[in-house]
Amino acid sequence: MELWSLLQDLLFDYTLRTVALGAAVLGIVSGSLGSFAVLRRQSLLGDAMSHAALPGIVIAFILTRSKFSLVLLLGALVAGWLATLLMTAIVRYTRVKQDSALGLVLSIFFGFGLVLLTYVQRIPDANQAGLNSYLFGQAAALLQRDVLAMAVLGSAALVLMGLFWKEFKLLSFDPVFGASLGFPMRLVDTLLTTTLVIAIVVGLQAVGVVLMSAMVVAPAAAARQWTDRLSIMVLLAALFGALAGVIGALISSSGSGLATGPTIVLVVSAIVTISIFLAPNRGLLWRWIVRRRNRRRLRVEAVLADLYTLATQHENRYHAHDAVVIRTMRAGQGGVAHTLDILQERGLVRKEDESRWALTPDGFREAQRITADMQE
């Protein structure tokens, strides 16, 4: 039993347990804070932040020669934050628009990070610090102290989110109204951005800078499909993030040799796909069914209304008419025979002979009601 042994490993194997714990932490934090980014249409901001974190990591290593992930992640935090400030400044003080500013900052920071990374390979110890794994992530290399660092940073972000929940909601829904109430919305924005940077930094070691933004956007986008409440959306996004993180990290660490970041992203993509198709109300399948049902209802009502029109032209309201007559009235719309069968099943019409149909008393009343509705 593959699954059984995996579960046993999860409970008793130190490495796997550490990896799963780390992946769960990163999924929870990026999923919940990603919800705000998605609702504010700032999905790409996460991408810029994570790419921009790379030079921060490398510089932190060059300066301290430390192998502790907490130190490197603090470097990432500073760089991601500076990148955001720079983007805001570019948009505010130049004529460069938001999307261009984002693209510029992302590529410049990331390019600079890659150059530094190549340079730093010559320094002894660089390999030991596992700098390369920050590109695509390597959950298998997570140590207990790394997970501890992630948990500390992640909790800080979640506590901030809990404290300023009301302010973050206001910022996401109606920032101008928020400003009119006297809240310094720029400060609230900075706070939320800071928590988002923290959320991203938490996942860098396991998922990598290249694909981290998927963990910000995908769980939140999937969660939005299932609920119409912000609190539930955040909880669901956290759950989806944790699920994708743990499954992806376990697949990649169980000797498959797959890079962790891409594996996690594949898992989360599956969750998104399922959500987009199957979620009630918003899901594609659901909407298709509703549309079909509506169309059929309209067709049934239309045929009934036609029979009613015919009936009112006769002295005997239950006089039968040929299906061909009804078909001519529904010019260009097929399915009359089928619709008549449906109506017969409901006892609203009755078949006089091979091709002639008439309203039943029930059908007459129903048709009267529908026609009255139509005229309203």
Partner 1 sequence: MEEKHAAIEVADLTVAYQEKPVLWDVDMYVPEGILMAIVGPNGAGKTTLIKAIMGLIQPAAGQISIYGKPFREQRGLVGYVPQRGSVDWDFPTNVLDVVMMGRYGRLGWIRRPGREEERLALEALEKVGMARYSERQISQLSGGQQQRVFLARALVQEAQIYFMDEPFQGVDATTERAIITLLKELSAANKTVVAVHHDLQTVPEYFDYVTLLNVRCIASGPVEQVFSEENLRATYGGRVAFLTAAGNGAEQVEPAATTAGHGAI
Binding site for partner 1 (CB under 8 A): 39, 163-167, 169-170, 172-174, 176-183, 224, 227-230, 233
Q: What letter does residue 211 receive in the DSSP assignment?
A: T
Of 115 and 163, which has the nearer Cβ to partner 1? 163
Of 64 and 88, which has the nearer Cβ to partner 1? 88
Minimum separation from the CB atom of position 161 to partner 1 (A): 12
Of 92 and 122, which has the nearer Cβ to partner 1? 92
Neighbours of 241 (CB within 10 A): 35
Of 293 and 346, which has the nearer Cβ to partner 1? 293
Minimum separation from the CB atom of position 187 to partner 1 (A): 10
Of 237 and 326, which has the nearer Cβ to partner 1? 237
Mark 157-173 as b/e (b = at least 16 C-beta within 10 Å). Answer: bbebbeebeebbebbbe
Minimum separation from the CB atom of position 97 to partner 1 (A): 15
What CA–CA distances, in Å, run from 375 to 136, 305, 369, 371, 372? 63, 12, 10, 6, 5
Minimum separation from the CB atom of position 236 to partner 1 (A): 11
Q: What radius of gyration, in Å, describes the C-alpha atoms of the chain?
A: 30
What CA–CA distances, in Å, run from 293 to 29, 288, 290, 296, 337? 40, 9, 5, 5, 18
What CA–CA distances, in Å, run from 274 to 235, 268, 353? 18, 10, 49
Of the chain, the end-to-end C-alpha distance in Å amounts to: 65
Of 165 and 277, which has the nearer Cβ to partner 1? 165
Minimum separation from the CB atom of position 120 to partner 1 (A): 43
Minimum separation from the CB atom of position 189 to partner 1 (A): 15
3-state secondary structure of 346: coil
